[in-house]
Amino acid sequence: MALHILIAVVVPNFKFDLVKKPPIELSIEIQKPEPPAPVVEKIPEPPKPIEQPKPQTVKKLEPKPTPKPIKPIEKPSPIVESTPSPVPVVEAPSTPPVIAAAPKGESKPEFVAPPPVAEPPKEKEPSPVEVDNALGEYGNLLGRAIAKHKQYPRIAQMRGWQGDVILDLKIDGTGKILTAEVKQGSGYDALDKQALEMAHKAAPFPAPPQALRNRTFNITVPVSFKLEES
């Protein structure tokens, strides 16, 4: 602290002696400007004339002549002596003799009848005996076919009803049933109805014999109902 106080007291009273030096004199010399060099104007040279190009002559190319093809030397063909063919002798046709005939008078057209059309042969009608035999044979066949569908009514079994039913069937030529009726009953409606039901179940029947074909016919078929004894 004491050092700082000492410096603060001494420094303001300290005087520096400035050494004064003599001033330096500056001498400036002004040189006179040199006269400018004379400007020499250049005279432009006249333009040279433009030489025009000489036209060039173009030589025409002439086409070369194409060489002609050299033909091969042909060998001389051998000379063949031809023998003259004999000329056929053609005889002149003889003209037929002309026969003069007297002109015929105008003839009237004749009517020609067409041949008769042959009728197809008629089928031979079967005789009554043949028809009866065919009905009997066909009736047995229908009876066996109906019997395959036989069912005994339950009420008839319980009450012991039995009997025969004769059916009258109207059939066409193919075996189809047209109508079915009871011609002769068994005395019991249950059995009669069962017989008709059996006939309808068995239809259509096999084709009938030749004597019964192409026609409609009626045939009777019996149906029997009998209880088996135990």
pLDDT digits (tens, 9 = 90+) for 164-215: 999 999 999 999 999 999 999 999 999 999 999 999 999 999 999 999 988 8
- Rounded to an integer, what distance in angstroms lies between the CA atom of residue 149 and that of residue 205? 13
- Whether the per-residue pLDDT at 119 is higher than 70: the answer is no
At 12, give phi and psi (nearest 5°).
-70, -30
Binned at pLDDT 50, 70 and 90, residue 55 comes out as low
Neighbours of 165 (CB within 10 A): 24
Rounded (10°) CA dihedral 173, 174, 176, 180: 30
Question: Which structural domains are found in the chain, ordered by start?
Answer: 128-225 (3.30.1150.10)
Q: Which residue has the higher pLDDT, 111 or 133?
A: 133
Q: In terms of Cα–Cα distance, which of 171, 230, 163, 228 is closest to 195?
A: 163
Angle between helices 189-202 and 128-147 (to 10 degrees): 100
- Whether the per-residue pLDDT at 97 is higher than 60: the answer is no
- Whether the per-residue pLDDT at 47 is higher than 70: the answer is no
Binned at pLDDT 50, 70 and 90, residue 53 comes out as low
3-state helix, strand, coil in the chain (%, to 5): 25, 10, 65
Q: Decide if 162 contacts 185 (C-beta within 8 A).
A: no
Q: What is the pLDDT of residue 71?
A: 61
- Looking at 97-202, list the stretches that DSSP marks H as alpha helix, in order from N- to C-terminal side: 128-147, 154-159, 189-202
Q: What is the pLDDT of residue 88?
A: 56
- Rounded to an integer, what distance in angstroms lies between the CA atom of residue 219 and that of residue 171? 8
Q: What is the pLDDT of residue 140?
A: 94
Tokens representing residue 159 in the block: 């009450």
**CA–CA–CA angle 198, 203, 209 (5° rounding):** 120
Measured between alpha carbons, how far is residue 100 from residues 6, 95, 107 in Å? 201, 15, 20
% of the chain at pLDDT higher than 90: 40
Q: Decide if 177 contacts 199 (C-beta within 8 A).
A: yes
Cα dihedral 129, 134, 135, 140 sign: positive
- Rounded to an integer, what distance in angstroms lies between the CA atom of residue 138 and that of residue 171? 11
- Whether the per-residue pLDDT at 143 is higher than 60: the answer is yes
Instruction: List Cβ neighbours of 150 (8 Å cut-off, separation of 6 or more).
Output: 198, 223
Average pLDDT over residues 44-72: 63
Q: What is the pLDDT of residues 14-42, one digit of tens each?
A: 444 444 555 555 555 555 556 666 665 66
Average pLDDT over residues 66-82: 59
Mean pLDDT estimate for the chain:
75
